[in-house]
Structure 1
Amino acid sequence: MYGYFFSKLSSIVNFVGSSSKRHSQLKSIRGNEIIDLIKSGELGTGTRVNQASTLQRPASTHWSSHYTSIIRVIELFGSICTLLEDLIGGKLTFGIRAEAKGLLKVMMTFDFVFMLLLMHRVLETSDMLCQALQRKNQDILNAMSLVATTKLLFQKMRDDEWDDFLWSVNNFCDTHDIVVPDLTDRYIEGTKRSCQQKNQFTVEEFYHFHVFNVVIDKQLMKLNTRFTEESIELLILCEALNPSDGFKSFSESAIYSLIEKFYPSDFSKDDMKHLKTQLDHYKLDVFEDPRFKDVDSLPKLCQLLVETKKSRIYFVIDKLIRLVLTLPVSTATTERAFSGMKLLKTPLCNKMEQEYLNNAMILYIEKEIACEIDIEYIIDMFDLLKNRRLQLK
Structure 2
Amino acid sequence: MPPESHHRVNTYFASLDKVLGELETRFSTNDQEILCSLSEIALVENPNEKNFQTVSEFYKLDRDLLRADFEILKNIKADNTSLNLPSVSEIYESLYQADLIQMIPEMSKDLKIFSVIPATTCTAERSFSGLRRMKTYLHNTIGQDKLKSVALLNIECIYANKVFENDIESVIDTFARKYNKIHRHFF
* TM-score class, shorter: 0.3 to 0.5
- In our comparison, the structure showing a higher alpha carbon Rg is 1
The higher relative CO (CA closer than 8 Å, separation ≥ 6) is in 2
